Structure 1
Amino acid sequence: MKYVVYDFLQVAGGAERVTLALAKALPGFEVVVARVSPAAGPLLLGFGGAVRSLGGALSRRLGGALEAIVCFAFGAGFLSRAQTVVYSGFYAPLAVHRQQAGRRIYYCHTPPRFAFELQSFYRARYPWFLRPLFDVFTAWLRARYVRAVQAMDVVLANSDNVRRRLSVCCGVQAQVLHPPVDVARFGWLADEGYFLSTARLEPLKRVDVLVQAFLQMPHQRLVVCSGGADLAALVALAAGAPNIQFLGWTSDAELADWVGRARATLYVPVDEDFGMSPVESMAAGKPVIGVAEGGLLETVLDGETGVLLSPALGVAAVCAAVESMTAERARAMRAACEARAQLFRSEVFEARIRALVV
């Protein structure tokens, strides 16, 4: 038996897309996850294959991380006779100790940063009385994760940025395999003058900085095409500004349409792992206003396919970049954007993963 094992299909996000892309590239591999959430339904429609969910009515009461840990650390006996397993995510690799033989391959989007270099940041978000429990949990996960990664036969990182993290966190040397992007799904449609953000609405994505910037530019339009835990807070921050629009999660077809009609996209996360959104933007011939750190240094060419701002990001810098991205400048970058995106197309990923796994 051969498996692609991932934490959970939570939303129609990048990691979920890569999980299904792995299965498509590896015929005969069964996809196994802890849970499939309704928000991931559109991905499954396009996938067409079967996905096994380990969780049940009882485990669902535990919630995301705890359910995944229970499923993979204690309920993955089916892996005992596996021939080849491709692991991905934070918690699925914990099942590697159940695999008695065969090849063990890990495709890493990132180590769990909340248990490593960003532990203090996430710890501060909990009430004081829960912080000791958070410390115990992250110490346990950190130790189990390191042992799991070190037990792999092959470790793949989705970017050079993540390769460095794995070296620091786990003491392993990974190979870089950029994730697949369905560049054919995107294309230049028009320039309707608006700027688009597709980053998940979480603190480290810094969409709040974008909202604050567009509050100072009422003549410029921001469209936020995503959801996340910070949605309500960001809507409140925008305070009903007519030039800022929140769409929530959209279908693949709707997303491609919004990207294809934008002037440029905005993507300014803190030390992003890789970031598929900038590549999707470039595939549509749209430049990226990003940040000069993390995975964007591997995708966006500053001055050619977009503008990379200082990691010490501020509202003024975002405003200046947006104002400088005129229709003429965006149009001049179109050809370079489209050519750059081809380096990350799905076919490149599929050929490489088959050569490594099959």
Structure 2
Amino acid sequence: MKVAIVHEWLDSFAGSERVVEQFLAEWPEADLFVLCDFMPEAERGFLGGRPVRTSFIQRLPFARKHFRKYLGLMPLAVEQFDLSGYDLVLSSSHAVAKGAITGPGQVHVSYVHSPMRYAWDLQHQYLREAGLDRGLKGLYTRRLLHRMRMWDRASAAAPDVVLANSTYIAERIRKAWRRESIVVHPPVDVERFALRAEKEDFYLTASRMVPYKRIELIAEAFRRMPGRRLVVVGDGTNEARVREAAGGAPNIEFRGRVSTAELVRLTQAARAAVFAAEEDFGIATVEAQACGTPVIAFGKGGARDIIVAPPAGQPTGLFFAEQSAGAIIAAVERFETLAFVPQDCRTNAGRFSREAFRAAMRRIAREALEGLQG
């Protein structure tokens, strides 16, 4: 059996690349196709030295730094890949990879991280944040996104099987594409995060400081709870706003970007991890659970697939209902009245292991191929 893997682009090892890594581990003889490959040498280990086949976007002017600006050409680029010689095509898609063309006698299974949010429900937010909500550039961008939406929905019919990385993304797929999907949670290296039952008296939030993460709400909440300590890990474009929300409170400690070993240590030691974003899934949430650490999270998005909340008999965290400092304060106060067992958190994390992901992918690919043969 010949297998092809199609992915949008390689420029850093992040969540979607972890999926590609497990595809390659399960199907080591597969050929890998990407629109462009600018992955730093230090992060290429998961590729195992295998060749990467790229599209014409790889050779366009200034593509190394500005390949995302060629969004309008990406549908054409992915459609140019000749996949006719493959029995099974696996796509890892957050933009256009699902539009790869296959024919009769082939099976295409598309793992969808999200429909293009900037083309659908987050279009207006994207335009505002990019300063493209007015003027000629804004008009051009709106026209481009309109065309991308039409192509996105049409190409959603291409895969034989659509997989969603969470129930939340399955709902977005149903809304945008009018397609049903199967939920397969993304792979998390839970073995890298060992259980620690003894906790210290601090709360942790760790992520990139970008607007949608809403870390400023967590900082404001703990500024208003001077008796509780918060450790903030990460940096990013929204750091100034987060520090302003913290107001120099002595109970809030900014660590900046830390090593992987230090992040693991902090996650293991924290009384609880706190997240305020509406995430597609939330790998950091699973990593905290793997450490035996409960999670306090905004109750929308992928977190609802991960956290087991009261009144469940073995809770691993709890939710707050709105993105506000007041809601976070109320959740922390409630958290401290409840009992959480670190081993329950660790057991819960096992549902999202790399082995569980690969087993699900094997089963789905086998069933799709058997269905074609039948």
TM-score clears 0.5:
yes
How large is the Cα RMSD of the aligned pairs? 2.8
Identify the residue that residue 323 of structure 2 maps to in structure 1.
313
Tell me whether 16-25 or 137-146 shows the greater mean CA deviation. 16-25
Q: What is the CA–CA distance in structure 2 between the aligned matches of 1:35 and 1:230, rounded to whole Å?
A: 28
Residue 113 in 1 paired to residue 123 in 2?
A: no
How far is the alpha carbon of 1:211 from its aligned partner? Answer: 1.6
1:28 alignment partner, SS class: coil
Identify the residue that residue 81 of structure 1 maps to in structure 2.
84
Residue 137 in 1 paired to residue 144 in 2?
A: yes
Q: What is the CA–CA distance in structure 1 between the aligned matches of 2:100 and 2:7, rounded to whole Å?
A: 12
Q: What is the CA–CA distance in structure 2 between the aligned matches of 1:28 and 1:68, rounded to whole Å?
A: 30
Q: What is the CA–CA distance in structure 2 between the aligned matches of 1:113 and 1:334, rounded to whole Å?
A: 35
Cα separation, partners in 2 of 1:249 and 1:2, compared to 1, 3 Å: farther
2:8 alignment partner, SS class: coil
Letter in 2 for 1:152: P
**What does the per-residue CA deviation read over 1:15-65, in whole Å, with 9 as the maximum and x for residues that have no partner?**
222221222222212333323444x944x3366453627324725256242
Identify the residue that residue 356 of structure 1 maps to in structure 2.
364
Tell me whether 9-18 or 334-343 shows the greater mean CA deviation. 9-18
Cα separation, partners in 2 of 1:14 and 1:319, compared to 1, 3 Å: same
| Residue correspondence of structure 1 range 1-358 to structure 2 within 5 A | 2-33=3-34, 34-38=36-40, 41-42=42-43, 44-45=44-45, 48-50=48-50, 52=52, 54=54, 55-56=58-59, 58-60=61-63, 63-67=66-70, 70=73, 73-74=76-77, 77-83=80-86, 84-93=88-97, 95-97=99-101, 99=102, 102-125=106-129, 126-127=131-132, 128-129=134-135, 130-189=137-196, 190-270=198-278, 272-303=279-310, 304-310=315-321, 312-326=322-336, 329=338, 332-358=340-366
- Structure 1: 5+ residue runs without aligned partners? none
How far is the alpha carbon of 1:104 from its aligned partner? Answer: 1.8
**Does structure 1 conserve the Cα–Cα contact (< 8 Å) formed by 2:201 and 2:229?**
yes
**Does structure 2 conserve the Cα–Cα contact (< 8 Å) formed by 1:73 and 1:95?**
no
**Does structure 1 conserve the Cα–Cα contact (< 8 Å) formed by 2:289 and 2:316?**
yes
- Structure 2: 5+ residue runs without aligned partners? 367-374
**Does structure 2 conserve the Cα–Cα contact (< 8 Å) formed by 1:59 and 1:67?**
no
Cα separation, partners in 2 of 1:229 and 1:94, compared to 1, 3 Å: farther
TM-score (norm 2): 0.83
Letter in 1 for 2:25: K
**Does structure 1 conserve the Cα–Cα contact (< 8 Å) formed by 2:6 and 2:100?**
no
Letter in 1 for 2:331: A
Identify the residue that residue 371 of structure 2 maps to in structure 1.
none
How far is the alpha carbon of 1:308 from its aligned partner? Answer: 0.5
Cα separation, partners in 2 of 1:293 and 1:124, compared to 1, 3 Å: same
Identity of aligned residues (%): 29
TM-score (norm 1): 0.86
Larger radius of gyration: 2
**Does structure 1 conserve the Cα–Cα contact (< 8 Å) formed by 2:274 and 2:296?**
yes
**Does structure 2 conserve the Cα–Cα contact (< 8 Å) formed by 1:26 and 1:354?**
no
Q: What is the CA–CA distance in structure 1 between the aligned matches of 2:202 and 2:8, rounded to whole Å?
A: 35
**What does the per-residue CA deviation read over 1:207-237, in whole Å, with 9 as the maximum and x for residues that have no partner?**
1211211222334332333344323443454
How far is the alpha carbon of 1:158 from its aligned partner? Answer: 0.9
Q: What is the CA–CA distance in structure 2 between the aligned matches of 1:154 and 1:59, rounded to whole Å?
A: 35
2:37 alignment partner, SS class: coil
Cα separation, partners in 2 of 1:345 and 1:196, compared to 1, 3 Å: same
**Does structure 1 conserve the Cα–Cα contact (< 8 Å) formed by 2:190 and 2:290?**
yes
Cα separation, partners in 2 of 1:82 and 1:269, compared to 1, 3 Å: farther
Matched pairs, number: 351
Q: What is the CA–CA distance in structure 2 between the aligned matches of 1:251 and 1:69, rounded to whole Å?
A: 37
Cα separation, partners in 2 of 1:5 and 1:226, compared to 1, 3 Å: farther
